[in-house]
Structure 1
Amino acid sequence: MWSVDEHLADVLAAVAPLPPLELQLLEAQGCLTVEDIVSTVALPPFDNSSMDGYAVRVADVNGATAEYPSVLTVVGDVAAGAAALPVIGPGQCARIMTGAPMPPGAEAVVPVEWTDAGSGSGEAATTMSPQGDKPVGTGEVRIFQPVDTGAFVRRCGDDIAIGQPLLPAGTRLGPTQIGLLAATGHDMVRVRPRPRVVVLSTGSELVPPGTPVGPGQISDSNSFALTAAARDAGAIAYRVGGVPDDAERLREVIDDQLIRADLIVTSGGVSVGAYDVVKEALGEQISFRKLRMQPGKPQGFGLLDGSSGPVPLLALPGNPVSAYLSFELFVRPAIRRMLGAAEISRTTVTARLTERLSSPGGRRQFARAAYDPESGTVTPVGGAGSHLLGALSQANALIVVDEDTTEVAEGAEVRTVLLDSAG
């Protein structure tokens, strides 16, 4: 029998980070960068206004009050994206919009609320000048408060300077990282691609969810759970669905999928029963072994001949809990390794057990559990049965009990794997 660590080492020795590719930004979402990325531009690329208001010279509004406003001549409008800019001289200003470039000569922005075009300082806005010949704040504007140099101005390079590091190598590209790259002019990025994982389950008893379940039949849950788990790990996952207990048909399906697969995951058909179809179909290419663990004793692993090179196949048990825990222990680390992630395994912490836990001798047990980070405690959920999906759905952790331990006392400290951690 193999140990858990031996089987995992065998799997990881056969996989490596995928070769880097240049991808368009949206195609690179979820991938990891392979090099440090440095900005070649400044953000903002020019001085611009952070408010709707008036671009002014500071000296022209010194001492302005509601009783004695500064009256300036408006020499133009500056909208976002404007190319031709008015020059601001003494006694002049320009009406400016948020994000618009600062015109030459202007030193600050007075918010529109501080003028007679707004409603600041208790001065009510009117729609026309007293003479009735022009809108307030267009030909000239009354300003009721002074400003300091640079007020309400976003300076060039305030956010990002030329030559500033943007993203270190190994960064996972999410929405904000992609937005940053786009803002700094990157349309392509060098990354390790997400591995393509094909997931299928075996068993003539399986029917798709939503299909009437006849005598002796069950809904196929494994292919859905494992596909979701592969995507959660960072892969591009394809669910093939259930394949009946027919070795020839299974070989055909796998051969068809090799062209698009970096990794194949099957569930079911790996034990010693008369209809263990994965063993029958792939026995010459896959090593089937028994592990000293509970649940998930029967496992299979090997390399298939793909068009672009060897394709790893991990054959997991068919019981839903066994399949999912086997994925967490062996498939997820393989996917993370192929992604090029620095951390390939879930975070492990030490927690205090809230109730006694028994374990079979000679096997490493992975007990489903609820971990409370505030109290640092962990509580087993559900029984030991490998078919108990209800308990699995409530678990956010696994309690690890080593092979030479048969009982763990309440209050003991136990190794706990966090299923919601990023690794």
Structure 2
Amino acid sequence: MAWTNLASAKTLPGRYHKAYSQLVDGLSKKQIAELKAGFSLYAKGWVTAPSSTKVRDGLGPHFNAVSCVSCHQHNGRGRAPIQGLKPDFSLLMRLSVQGQNKDGSPVGDPVYGTQFHPRATLGVENEGDLELTYTEKNEVLAGGKVVSLQVPSYKFKNLKYGSMSQDIMISPRVAPHLAGVGYLDKVSEEQILEYADELDSNRDGISGKVNYVWNVLAQKKTIGRFGWKANQPTLLQQNAGAFNGDLGITSSLFPNQNCSSLQSDCLSALDGGAPEISDKHLDFVNLMVSSIDRPKVKRLKNYEEGKKVFFQLKCQQCHRPSFQVEGKEVKAYTDLLLHDMGAALADGRADFLANGREWKTPPLWGIGAQKEVNGHTYLLHDGRARNVEEAILWHGGEAEKSKQMYKALSEEERESLLNFVNSL
């Protein structure tokens, strides 16, 4: 991971799989040096306090992973585990009960809070185990092709602090790749609002909705754009939230540990200071993440034909092809808005203005590099779709018509469309 020449660095350190590690142009020597420090905080494991490693102590007491790269290997996308195996670092479980906090955020379980933590530091009980199993259901396409979809089922086991609330709501989440997120952080609010049509006033069946969420630094609600339900307003807050929720690292934005009042061993554990990551170091990490360049397009066979099918199916109504950011056309294929995706994908869990059937349109860029970087093609918020075709067939709600149109395509048209998406 050595950086031999900071001034000429073009990619983040690593031995291979560079598709999600290219750096944007124009970084100064000072920025590269700060970015290097941010990468160290992002890539190296955090340790339990107290430790001689003062900069990176304070892990836990409850946590999902020991580093950011545990979930974002090669800055890429995580996946759900193979059936029967324990979930890996990149799958986490959101928790909540009925109601909202004063800022509009979900109310956590009285015992286990808003995120389930299967790992803990020495002397502290982990919260329990999570078991994942799948059943299969079939979709039949024109021409008779049968596609089997895997339906996930989750079960909490060996809960160490007692039962969860009877009205507990759960929502599994898999880590997305990080390429290009700095551009999404800079998309103007005006451009996001362009596509918003909550009441479907134009009667096209698409009603993209803005999620207004609590902005810690601004101390008011602003447009959400990060997270599977657009529940974070800025990349900085998203990163600070991940440090806190996933690693148990406090910051000035999220100063409290992941301990409920009923978890006495967690509350009494030693910490790594207040806060455990300083504003300066958090800014270094944020600079590093925001400096990863957008993914490159690799044109597969019948790319142009597939693009035409993409538009014929009206996919662009949610997967908006591009934004303008600092004079550049940024082709992320997302509108950053919430959409009703139907009962099959619903988690039943509200998050600020997002209801239990709504999800933010995920960017499509980078899909073409996912197999190379992370060794798999699993998609959707919980990784249930094993490839692009399965992801399409899980669409419902506002995308039901597009899914039915996909099912009616010829085999050649389907292949062209899949090649187009897998080129992005």
TM-score by length of 2: 0.25
Instruction: Kindly indicate which of the two structures has a greater share of residues assigned to strand.
Output: 1
More helix by share: 2
* Structure whose alpha-carbon radius of gyration is higher: 1
Higher relative contact order (CA 8 A, sep 6+): 2
TM, length-normalised to structure 1: 0.25
